[in-house]
């Protein structure tokens, strides 16, 4: 005898399926590594980049201009661009959920938001930190940033133009307390090809502290 499924039965079945899916959704999100926590760099990577930037003619000219007048660096006015902050050996905290990744940097007191699966704007408003968006590639968290004002990638010069596009790839290592951060630099004006640096970070119990930067416009007056 073929069982009869009533409208009430179908409703109950649908309700059960909806409840199961809502219960499973957090489980799917939990399959991804959780980068939440405070992270401390291993080493002083700003001085240990083992790669020579592939300067274009325009990039080399900008670097030589910095060499001739390093005090023109906007850092003397407490203005720092994205890569300089994200690769500096100072703490940063990551707060991660299924919709966005929030990063709180000790350096310059910057706060950055990268929304998951939200496309980057075609014409972003330019700022020193740019606009970021995040995606997952397997277990690797990929954050891309555009709309970054011209500046310097690190204290030892290495200028970038306003055409800079930065891709960060974060991968959790097997111990669950160490992450590898590959920072890919793509600036078609100042470099002949994309290039990258990789740093490692350890989870720490330290807390992000206040950052005190004093503008020094008087430097170079004498």
Query: Using one digit for the tens of pLDDT, what is the confidence trace for 84-116?
Result: 888 888 899 999 998 999 999 998 888 999 999
How far separated are the first and last CA of the chain, in Å rounded?
100
Residue 155 lies in a domain: yes
Residue 110 lies in a domain: yes
Alpha helices in the chain (DSSP H): 7-30, 57-68, 82-86
Q: Quick one: pLDDT band at residue 5, thresholds 50, 70, 90?
A: very low
The arithmetic mean of pLDDT across residues 184-195, rounded, is: 96
Instruction: Write the CA distances from 178 to 24, 41, 127, 204, integer angstroms.
Output: 28, 10, 30, 10
Number of domains comprising the chain: 1
CATH of the domain at 133: 2.40.128.20
Tokens representing 90 are 């100072």
> Looking at 16-25, 70-79, 95-104, 166-175, which range is the least confident one?
16-25
Residue 156 lies in a domain: yes
DSSP 8-state class, residue 113: E
pLDDT at residue 30, rounded to an integer: 56
Residue 220 lies in a domain: no
Residue 58 lies in a domain: yes
Residue 122 lies in a domain: yes
Residue 139 lies in a domain: yes
Residue 95 lies in a domain: yes
The arithmetic mean of pLDDT across residues 173-193, rounded, is: 94
| Containing structural domain, residue 118 | 37-204
């Amino acid at each position: 005898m073929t069982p009869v499924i009533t409208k009430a039965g179908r409703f109950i079945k649908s309700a059960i399926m909806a409840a199961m899916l809502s219960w499973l959704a957090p489980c799917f999100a939990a399959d991804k590594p959780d980068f939440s926590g405070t992270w401390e760099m291993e080493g002083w990577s700003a001085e240990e980049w083992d790669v020579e930037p592939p300067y274009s003619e325009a990039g080399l000219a900008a670097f030589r201009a910095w060499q001739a007048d390093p005090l023109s660096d906007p850092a003397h006015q407490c203005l720092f661009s994205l890569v300089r902050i994200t690769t500096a050996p100072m703490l940063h905290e990551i707060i991660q959920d299924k919709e966005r990744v929030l990063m709180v940097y000790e350096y310059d007191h910057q706060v950055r938001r990268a929304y998951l699966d939200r496309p980057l704007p075609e014409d972003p408003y330019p700022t020193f930190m740019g606009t970021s968006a995040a995606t997952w590639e397997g277990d690797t968290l990929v954050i891309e940033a555009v709309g970054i004002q011209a500046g310097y990638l690190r204290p030892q010069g290495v200028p970038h133009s306003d055409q800079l596009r930065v891709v960060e790839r974060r991968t959790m290592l097997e111990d669950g307390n160490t992450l590898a951060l590959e920072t890919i630099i793509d600036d078609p004006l100042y470099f002949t090809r994309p290039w990258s640096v990789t740093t490692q970070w350890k989870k720490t119990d330290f807390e992000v502290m206040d950052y005190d930067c004093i503008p020094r416009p008087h430097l170079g007056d004498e």
